[in-house]
Structure 1
Amino acid sequence: MTRTSAPVDAPVTGGWEGLVTTALLGTDRRTPPGTTPRRDAPVALLDAAAVETVRRRAGLRPARAAQRPRPAPEDERPPLPAAAARRLAMLLADRPGASGGGRRGTAPDLMELLPQWLAAANARGFAPPPQVLPALLDAARGRTDLRPAALEFAGPRALWLARLNPEWRFALRAAPGGGAAPPPAADDDRTRQVWQEGLFAERVALLSALRSREPAAARELLATTWATERAEDRLMFLDSLRTGLSPDDEPFLEQALSDRSRNVRATAAELLSALPGSALAARMAVRAAACVAIDHTRSSRTAGTPPTPSIAVEAPHECDAEMERDGVVPKAPAGRGERSWWFGQLVEAAPLGTWSRRLGGRTPREIVALPVADDWQSELHAAWCRAAVRQQDAEWSRALLGEPSAPEAGGPGAVSLAERAKLLGTLGAAERAEWVAGFIATHGLSEAFQLLGVCAVPWAPPLGRAVVDALNIARDAGSYPWSFSGVMGLAERCLDPSESGRLDALLAVPDEPEDASPGAGGYWAEAFQRLVTTLRLRAAMIEELGGPESGTPA
């Protein structure tokens, strides 16, 4: 059918929509742009549609160019040795599979070696190869326990990358002040500006950095805005004073005892009680000493012998306003008596030197050995434990721990494994290892896991030998090794690699006693093979980093 309508020119503009309209009307009625009505108009329409299709798929409207990212900062640390770089890539490429139950086989767990590798690399001050930073950040994203060491090793370029990838923003949150460096020490104007105008994270970072290098300046800066800060911010800022705490901080902390916030008052009191010479410590000493005395009237169990001295306790009958101001919490937790609750807080905050003067010049060990009347011993000794940890008093810690071979497994004051571990933290690394080795030799490994966690890595030879000997005893007893999987995992990470030679004799499948668990010998051989393989791998790691391993906390 022939169209008789007069044709009209299609508008030049309109793009794709104009071509679609032309196709619908027909080229007899509407010609494509730039053509005349003729027999080749349909071909011209198709050509124009093809051009427009390409333009729509590949074209881009002109826009202002985005600002280029600033170049990544330079990392001034020495580069990682080539062999160590290859080892790091291997550790980062390892992906732990699904748990296969109790049996792990003989292959080392590479992801569990990564934290130790990072600690060793950080101790030597190496910089990572740039190409491993994405994998390192991915590993840290999946494991929060890995983040501090991973971000320290990754250095400033990790923060640069984190600003470009939302999945790595945790690095900015983990870095003080969101990754922003605090002002230089000499830039007082910039310091005041950040403190008065900066974000909360920036202010925390500034105060922490200033406290580590100029404690007095940090305290004075905090005092300038203390009265106007929010309670939760005051608590966080006050906590920064733990670094470099000294008697010079006492006037400021004494003022904080009158703070509106109970949490702020409690933190100030805790810090003051860690200063044995503070006025608060003296006030607590008077209150605590009034509750404790030597009783010479207690009858001896042996007829004809003089009375045995003992400790008598008279707990406070009330918590007055002055006690509450000094940090004593008046309301006891559920299940605790009020008087014992108040008494424990007083003893915990009193300087430990109080007790030798109060109790006849006796040494801490002699004081701890005294019987305590009326079932107050556990409460009194537990408070002394907390005081020894707070005041970092090694002599009192030794007295409360007792001998590691004691039948009570840790001494009269250590009411739990957690408290023993805290008391051990006040001792030197060598003494700590020796005590735990003695504990294991007497009591085995069933309760040793928490105590091993506070020992320096690599374990000292006496401790390493005690652990290996105890594992050997457990193997000979015929039990499955899975009961000791926690200790075995610690041994893989903490045993000195030089001990691997002593383990060769344990690699064979032992003869199983009649009452042994079925197949236990084979499982133990696998576990020891994995331990030996891991120790040798750790030795290679340290060698690749260029030096012997130094002691670090577990």
Structure 2
Amino acid sequence: MASWGELVSAALLGTERRAAPVPVHAGREPAAALLDAAAVSTVRRRAGLRPAPAAERPAVAPPDPRPELPDAARRRLALLLADRGGHAGSRRGAAPDLTELLPQWLATAGEQGYRAPAALLPALLDAARARTDLQPAALALAGPRALWLARLNDDWKFALRGIGGAAALPARQDHAASQRLWEEGLFAERVALLSATRRLDPAAGLALLAGTWSTERAEDRLMFLDSLREGLSPADEPFLEKALSDRSRNVRATAAELLSALPESALASRMAERATACLRLDEAAEYDGADREQPTAGPVLVVTPPRACDAGMERDGVVAKAPAGRGERAWWMTQLLEATPLGVWPGLLGGRSPEEIVALPVADGRRTEVHDAWCRAAVRQRNAAWARALLGAPTAAGNGISGSAAPGIAASDGEAGSSRDAAKLLGVLPAGERAAWVAEFIASHGLSDAFRLLGVCAVPWAEPLGRAVVDALDIARDAGSYPWSFSGVMGLAERCLDPAAADRLDMLTAQGGEPEDGSPGADGYWSEAFQRLVGTLRLRATMHAELTGRDAPHAGADSGHAGAGP
């Protein structure tokens, strides 16, 4: 019998180039004889192997008392996980992209309180490893068994670092078990415990953290401190004040940011005292700023940045070294403004409303600096009145480069150096008002600058917002352009439009006539894109029905994807 190495070499080279090192009987193919010899050799090698001592059996997986998925939803999850390759690098056609529907499916399954099927846990963890955006929802659905599997497979170690496994947390009444988990648990388990405790009992969560704070690593202290955003209140101020003296700069900065979100905190008062020395109102100044055609007399904000950044300012979170291209004094001033409670300014500036304050001209070309700082303050303090004033009317906002003199975000977005973020400001507004603002913005200015604004709107989109997006897409189609320029918005529409709109959108799937000056074949591509949109909406409706037990609004919901039936 030839050796295993000789058999492998002959197989790699092929029997046409090297004679098989085994007897070949007349009428028999050398390749067949070679394979038979390899099979016999394999059996002999396995039969002669001495059994090794049995390894220690792993601990039994922890129980997960949550209910199992309905059969149709379980099959759907298997299809979604099998389609993880998506349509990258190729034209999508009219088929729904299951990859983009997986996050929504996971979120709905989590809301319904289901657990992931045991047989699909490996595929679910593989999907979460490949896409970090899936990890929170995937680990929550996988529950304690995700952590159990992660300890057995290095490929899934991310689960031990992520925030998941909430189902494995001790009962709220079991204080001893919670304390033991806090002191002995994995980092992910400790973060999950702190977040859950803060959600239910902020004081108990703070007590957990304070008990071990001095022994924690700097990077862990930073993550734990960030968990205090949940349920942040004046009761957290003494602990956060002590954290201002932490040896880690990032921890100090986070503590200062949290304290500045508490308008009644001592830090907020100190920042307000410094900031109010930087701004004053000149009631009868001559203003000839660039955003005015003619000089005007009237109230003007006069800016006087601080002359130095002292130790007290640094302790309160002011970063002394300015970024490249920024003046130091302006840099210090904007940090003071964004950490000052916005409620200070109406009293200081003659009782004016936020809208009236935003409309005031600012001397020396410092309007952008001041307004950008107020934008960051509005986001940090979740102040809807100031966010509304800084955004301005959606019809006046233009495409963000108007540079007009009107109050609102457009008035400063056109100025050099502006760093404000309209999407973050919108996130402060109630969901209904947010959707209405974006709908009016799109109706006035189209989709060119709407992508990030749409991303902060609640899902499913409210009917006026959905209608505005579809109307704008239809206008782009009539203009004769290709749909690829709007692929991002179309993708959002597939995930965010109300599935109930599918039947109403059917009319858009038909092909019409090509515009005379349109791109060749564009109408056919648009028809295909709208077919995909309608098919995806119906598929989403079916997926939701499978998870909730409610009837889908359209019987043919799965027709958009072969093999996607429940």
The Cα of 1:285 is off from its aligned counterpart by 0.9
Q: Give the corresponding residue for 1:27.
A: none
Query: How far apart are residue 91 of structure 1 and its match?
Result: 1.8
- CA deviations on 1:205-233 (whole Å, 9 max, x unpaired) are 44444433332233334334434444334
Query: Residues 519-546 of structure 1, C-alpha deviation per residue, up to 9 Å, x if partnerless?
Result: 1111111111111111111111112222
Residues 154-233 of structure 1 aligned to structure 2 (within 5 Å): 154-175=142-163, 181-182=168-169, 184-186=171-173, 188=175, 191-192=178-179, 195-196=182-183, 200-201=187-188, 203-233=190-220
CA contact (8 A) 1:507 1:526 kept: yes
Partner of 2:343: 353
1:146 to 134, 139, 153: 134
Matching residue within 369, 381, 391 for 2:359: 369
CA distance in 2, matches of 1:232, 1:306: 53
- Counterpart of 2:524? 522
Name the amino acid aligned to 1:265: R
Return closer, same or farther for 1:414/1:111 CA change in 2, 3 Å cut-off.
Answer: farther
| Structure-1 separation of matches of 2:152 and 2:274 | 58
Summarize the Cα distance change of 1:264–1:457 in structure 2 as closer, same or farther, 3 Å threshold.
same
How many angstroms apart in 1 are the aligned matches of 2:61 and 2:216?
36
| Secondary structure of 2:280 counterpart | strand
CA contact (8 A) 1:481 1:527 kept: yes
- Partner of 2:446 in structure 1? 444
Distance in 2 between residues matched to 1:185 and 1:81, nearest whole Å: 29
Residues 95, 535 of structure 2: 8 Å contact kept: yes
Gap regions ≥5 residues in structure 1: 1-52, 550-554
Which of 320, 328, 334 pairs up with 1:330? 320
Which consecutive residues of structure 2, in runs of 5 or more, have no partner in the other structure? 1-41, 401-407, 553-566
* Residue 115 of structure 2 is aligned to residue 122 of structure 1: no
Query: In the alignment, what sits opposite 1:31?
Result: none
SS of corresponding position for 2:302: strand
User: For 1:291 and 1:338, how far apart are their aligned partners in 2?
Assistant: 14
How many Å separate the matches in 1 of 2:98 and 2:172? 42
Q: Partners in 1 of 2:488 and 2:296 — Cα distance? A: 51
Asked whether 1:406 is paired with 2:388, we answer no
CA distance in 2, matches of 1:497, 1:438: 22
User: 1:32 matched to which residue of 2?
Assistant: none
Distance 1:371 1:548 in 2: 57
> Residue 84 of structure 1: CA displacement?
1.9
Tell whether the 8 Å contact from 1:180 to 1:202 is kept in structure 2 after alignment. Answer: no
2:396 and 2:497 map into 1 onto residues whose CA distance is: 26
**Shift of the alpha carbon at 1:118?**
1.3
Paired letter, 1:92: L
Q: CA deviation at 1:144?
A: 1.9
Equivalent-residue separation in structure 2 for 1:185 and 1:366 (angstroms): 49
- Structure 1 residue 93, shift from structure 2 partner: 2.1
Change in 2 beyond 3 A, CA 1:75/1:223? closer
Q: Among residues 55, 64, 67, which one is paired with 2:56 in the alignment?
A: 67
1:90 to partner: Cα distance: 2.0
1:289 aligns with 2:276: yes
Do the aligned partners of residues 525 and 128 (structure 1) sit closer, same or farther apart at CA in structure 2, a change above 3 Å counting? same
Show CA shifts across 1:89-109 (max 9, x none).
2222224366455x4211111
DSSP 3-state at the match of 1:471: helix
SS at match of 2:421: helix
Change (3 A) 1:86 1:205: closer
Q: Give the total of aligned pairs.
A: 495
> Does the 8 Å CA contact 1:310/1:373 hold for their aligned counterparts?
yes
Residues 548 and 122 of structure 1, relative CA distance in 2, 3 Å threshold? farther
Distance in 1 between residues matched to 2:180 and 2:82, nearest whole Å: 45
CA drift at 1:124: 1.2
- 2:125 maps to 137
For residues 228 and 148 of structure 1, what CA distance do their matches in structure 2 show? 27
Q: Distance in 1 between matches of 2:184 and 2:118?
A: 35
Residue 390 of structure 1, CA deviation: 0.3
Matches within 5 A, 1:103-122: 103-122=91-110
Counterpart code for 2:272: A
Compare CA radii of gyration and give the structure with the larger one.
1
Question: Who is 2:432 aligned against?
Answer: 430
Separation in structure 2 between the aligned mates of residue 374 and residue 507 of structure 1, nearest angstrom: 55
Are the equivalent residues in 1 in contact too, given 2:86–2:97 (CA < 8 A)?
A: no
Is 1:85 aligned to 2:79, yes or no?
Answer: no
Shift of 1:191: 4.9
Q: Structure 2 vs 1, CA of residues 210 and 264 (structure 1 numbering), >3 Å: closer, same or farther?
A: same
Moved more, 520-529 or 178-187: 178-187
Whichever residue aligns with residue 104 of structure 2, its letter is Q
How far apart in 1 are the matches of 2:86 and 2:285? 64
Check the 8 A contact 1:400/1:414 in 2, yes or no. Answer: no
Deviates more, 1:206-215 or 1:194-203: 194-203
SS at match of 1:327: coil
Task: Give the SS at the match of 2:285.
Answer: coil
Q: Does 1:259 align with 2:254?
A: no
**Are 2:386 and 1:396 equivalent residues in the alignment?**
yes
Q: Percent of aligned positions with the same letter in both sequences?
A: 69
Equivalent residue letter for 1:511:
G
SS in 2 for 1:134: helix
Preserved contact between residue 401 and residue 414 of structure 1 (Cα < 8 Å)? no
